[in-house]
Structures are given as structure tokens and as C-alpha cells.
Structure 1
Amino acid sequence: MIKRDAERPIIQLLEEFPAVGVLGPRQVGKTTLAEEIAVEFQSDSLYLDLESPTDLAKLSEPEQYFELHKGKLIILDEIQRIPELFRVLRGVIDRHRRQGFKTGQFLILGSASLDLLQQSSESLAGRIAYKELSGLTVNEVSKGKKNNQDQLWLRGGFPDSYLAQSDAASLRWRMNFIATYLERDVPQFGSRMAASSLRLLWTMLAHNQGGQLNIAQLGANLGVAPPTAKRYIELLEDLLLIRSLRPWSGNIGKRLVKAPKIYIRDSGLTHALLGINTFDDLLGHPVVGASWEGFVIENLLSNLPVGATPWFYRTSAGAEIDLVIELGTQKRYAIEIKRSMAPTVSKGFYMGCEDIKATHRFIVYPGNERIPAANESMMIPLIELIREFRELS
């Protein structure tokens, strides 16, 4: 089992808040992590799977049930199945706080974004802290001297996919994961789109990994109206399966691109949708550069310190930065991503750095050492930049 970097921050939040919500797509390892936290938290704990009829039956009178187990860390898994439970939790948390149980009451696991969970639920503002659990990252799979970056890139960050006995077994797992999401999980949230159309949408996004979102074109290709296409994109984003990276919007007096860039968050799912089976297949596929870019971005964003804001930057004049990270008003990281051991960086990157007044300039490449580059830039391995951001947390 791979120890997750999120474990310690979640334990710290449980020591500060009555409830902590851990959000991440299905099969990303939330339940396993919760079990580890329950042991580390040194408290009696109780686990309820809200997709289990037996566990749901225990909550026929939830307030009484929670009162009976007062003082325990209660883990509620797949909370999106019954979001109305948030209304009950608010009163229970407040009552238990008055009775002296101020922290560590509930650990809530959900397979959807906060916005989706709260559409029909009571806000727990001031009572709950949220932590997003991503797939496995390079930092987690490369402990010691061993670097498993290429395997992680090919197979993606879902633990069962990454740890499969072979590339073929990993691919079978991912194909079944995709089918399950299309046939069961997406319809759960009200989508009436046929599974075949959803698969087509997902595949189109894989082919256009890291491209700018054109809702009108996407709707035309799917045979649906633009508002419908937009709704499906938002649903996949709420299910934490795709990421919209927004354009930087500072006032610099230049014409900036306004459409977001779209990435399938897990590189392994991208490769499965495109029929990429092996690492050799990946290196010879046209998507290799865009896939590497998405992989690097997801790893970096999963390890940013609290308060950091990610963007991309592009102007109509050709200035472009793959990823901009803002840390307050003092630090602005410009990050170019290249799948080459000897990357060539365009003039547009340096123009963009001047436009946004970047304080740090990095070129992430697949090598193993830092190498100074032109215009005060530094070529850097992905794992080193991840660790640099983690040190800022």
C-alpha cells in the first residue's frame, strides 16, 4: 500500500474542525485513506457506506444513531448518495460541540465536487473543512531512489490501475472504470445522455487534451445544443474527472484568450480512451505532448500550498505560458512543460513572463537534474518542483 501525502493534513484538520470532507473520484483511495486515518487519529471510529442498504438502514433515525455513537469518529462514505444528510449533520455537530466534542466528529467522503454536493444540501460553513484527494502523484510513488514516473504517467493515478500486475491488466481496469462511470455514476446525477454519447464526448476531450474549450463546436460534434454540451462538461468537472484551467486575467492592456483549457485529469483514462496500451505506444502517439502537459499540471496542482491559484496565459500576439501559479501578491510562477530532454522554449514563453512579471520561471522536463536555461529560467524535473511547492505549505 502506498502512503498518501494527504493523510497528515487531513488528521490535522480533524484536530481543528468538527467535520472534514475528503472529495475525489471513485476508486481514488478515499476509503483506504479513511481507514488509515481512523487508526492514526487514535479514536474509536465507525464506518458507514451510504451505498450499502444495511448501513443506510442504520440511519433511518440519523440523529438518534449519531447520538448513540457520540465521541467516535464517524466516517460517512459516498455522501453524495444522500446529500440531505447535511441538514441533520449541522444540528448534530452543533449539539455535540456544546457537549464538549468540538473536533473530529465526522469524516465525510464524497465522489463529487463541493458545488454538486451542496445543490440540495445544508451548508456546513464554519463546521467543516474540505480536502481534495487526487490520484497518486509522482511524489507518492517515487519514495527513496526509485522513480516510477513513467509507469504513473502511462497507467494514471488510480491505485488499482497503477498497481496492476501488468500494463494489460491496468488497461482492463481503466476500461471497466470508464464503463461503470458512464452507465451508473453519471446517470445518478440526472444526466439523460446516452452512455455511447458520453463516451464519445469523453473520447473527444481525450483527443483534444489541453485544448481550449469550444462549446459550440463540441455541441455540433455531439449533435446537441451548446447549453446541453456545456451542462455535460460541467457535470464531468463536478465529478472530478476533468479540469478546466482558467486563463490569467490581469490588467496588462493586451488581448487575452478567454476560453478555458480542458484536461482529463487522470492520464491513464486519457490513454485508455485513445487505445494507448504501452509506454512505447504512448511515446509514438500524437497526444504524447498534451498528455505529458496534463500529467504535469495535475501533479503540480495536487501539491500546491493553500491559497495558491492556477491559471494559464495566452495572448492574441502569441505570448503563452502553460501554467501560471500565483502565491499571494509576492510570488508568480511561470511554468512551461516540455516532453523533451533538450527542450526548445519559444519566444512566446519569455514574452509571457515579462507580461505577467513572473518571479520564478521553470521549464518542467523529463530529466533528472536542474539545468539553468535562458532568461533566468530553470529546467527542472517534475518531482523537484512538486517538492518545492510542498515546502511552501
Structure 2
Amino acid sequence: EECGVSHNTISEWISILEASFLIYKLKPYHKNYNKRLVKNSKIYFTDTGLVCSLLGIRKQEELDYHFLKGNIFETFVLSEFLKNCYNTGDKFELYYWRDNHKKEIDLILDYGINKFGIEIKRSETIHEKHFSGLSYWKNLSNTESENMYLIYGGTDNYIRNEMNIVSWDNIFNGIIKKVI
């Protein structure tokens, strides 16, 4: 209403963008782990090239210093999961999880009886604070450590804090192959 456009009109525009596969609405995961959960969908573009173009980012160096680089990286990783799902016909659902205390998991891959918690960090190095949401959700949901992943901007794959650290360029060897 503040921008002079009705809620219904904005909802229709979002539906058109979603039907055109330009955006994806990531729904919240709320399987009664906690009654006080954030229940609004998050909207992601499905094409990071389009995002960068709309933001006026033309070169890698501009992206490296852009204040939205972490969000763009998260968008990239999500879009890779979506493309894999669409292209292979795999039937898994994607969600995010956040409670009212701002504990969050960027991505939950729900593959029937298996759930995979995924945190996405643009950083090329891993810090202890990157594990806080994963650890919290792991304990709350009783998810196995082997199903917990941190995807990051670095190059190495390893295990730390009983969780899988996976390089951004090894997403499908590190996670998707395990799931399917």
C-alpha cells in the first residue's frame, strides 16, 4: 500500500514471475519443532545473471565487493538445487527454517524420510559462528550429522563439528549424489 499498488496486484505480479520461472518462493519448514516460527515465504530470483544485471553488476570485481554478494551466492546455490530437481525429475522439496529468535537454516532438502539441513556462506573460510543455525536445528530436529551441510565459497571439502563442509563447485558430488 505504501508504494501505491494494492496487495492483490503485487500478489498477481509475483504469481506471473513464479509461473515464468523468474522467481522461486521458498516456503518455510514448520513441522511442529517450535510453535514460534517464521511462516512467510522467501522470494529468490532463479537467475543470478539477471540479478546482477538488474543491480548493475557487470564484472566479477564488482560482485566481490557488492553488499549483496552473500545473498547472490545464496540465490546461486538455491538455483542449482532447483535446476537439478527440474532436470532430473527428482522429487524433493526445498524449504528454509527460522524461528522467532532468528535461528535459521538457509535450506532444508526434504527427500521423504531424509531431511538435509544446509547452510550457505559466501565466505572462503569457515568460522565457528557459521555452525550456530545448523547445530541448533540439528538438535531440535534430531537430524543425523551426516545430513548436515555447510556450502561455502572455498575450495576444500571436509568434515568439521561433525558436519559436512562442501565447496560451492562440488555441491552435486557432495550432496545430491548422496541423496539420490
Using the size of structure 1 for normalisation, the TM-score is 0.42
Unaligned runs of 5+ in 1: 1-218
Matches within 5 A, 1:1-393: 219-221=1-3, 223-304=4-85, 306-329=90-113, 331-344=114-127, 345-359=130-144, 360-374=147-161, 376-387=162-173, 388-390=175-177, 392-393=179-180
Q: Distance in 1 between matches of 2:151 and 2:135?
A: 15
Unaligned runs of 5+ in 2: none
- Count residues with an aligned counterpart: 172
User: Between the two proteins, what is the percent identity of the paired residues?
Assistant: 29
Please report how far the alpha carbon of residue 232 of structure 1 lies from its aligned counterpart in structure 2 after TM superposition: 0.5
Report the AA paired with residue 369 of structure 1.
D
SS at match of 1:256: coil
Report the AA paired with residue 64 of structure 2.
L
Q: Deviations over 1:138-158 (max 9, x none)?
A: xxxxxxxxxxxxxxxxxxxxx
The alignment yields a C-alpha RMSD, in angstroms, of 1.7
Q: Distance in 2 between matches of 1:383 and 1:326?
A: 22
Equivalent pair of 1:314/1:352 in contact (CA under 8 Å): no
SS at match of 2:39: coil
Q: Distance in 1 between matches of 2:103 and 2:132?
A: 8
Which residue pairs with 1:191 in the alignment?
none
Using the size of structure 2 for normalisation, the TM-score is 0.88
Report the AA paired with residue 123 of structure 2.
S
Change (3 A) 1:332 1:338: same
Q: Distance in 2 between matches of 1:292 and 1:349?
A: 18
Q: Distance in 2 between matches of 1:265 and 1:275?
A: 17
Please report how far the alpha carbon of residue 307 of structure 1 lies from its aligned counterpart in structure 2 after TM superposition: 1.9
Q: Deviations over 1:335-390 (max 9, x none)?
A: 0001112123152331122222323111101222212222x112101332313414
Equivalent pair of 2:34/2:99 in contact (CA under 8 Å): no
Q: Distance in 2 between matches of 1:224 and 1:240?
A: 23
Report the AA paired with residue 255 of structure 1.
R
| Divergent runs of 4+, >3 A | 390-393
Change (3 A) 1:303 1:391: farther
Q: Distance in 2 between matches of 1:246 and 1:357?
A: 21
The answer to which structure has the higher strand fraction is 2
Q: Distance in 2 between matches of 1:339 and 1:352?
A: 20
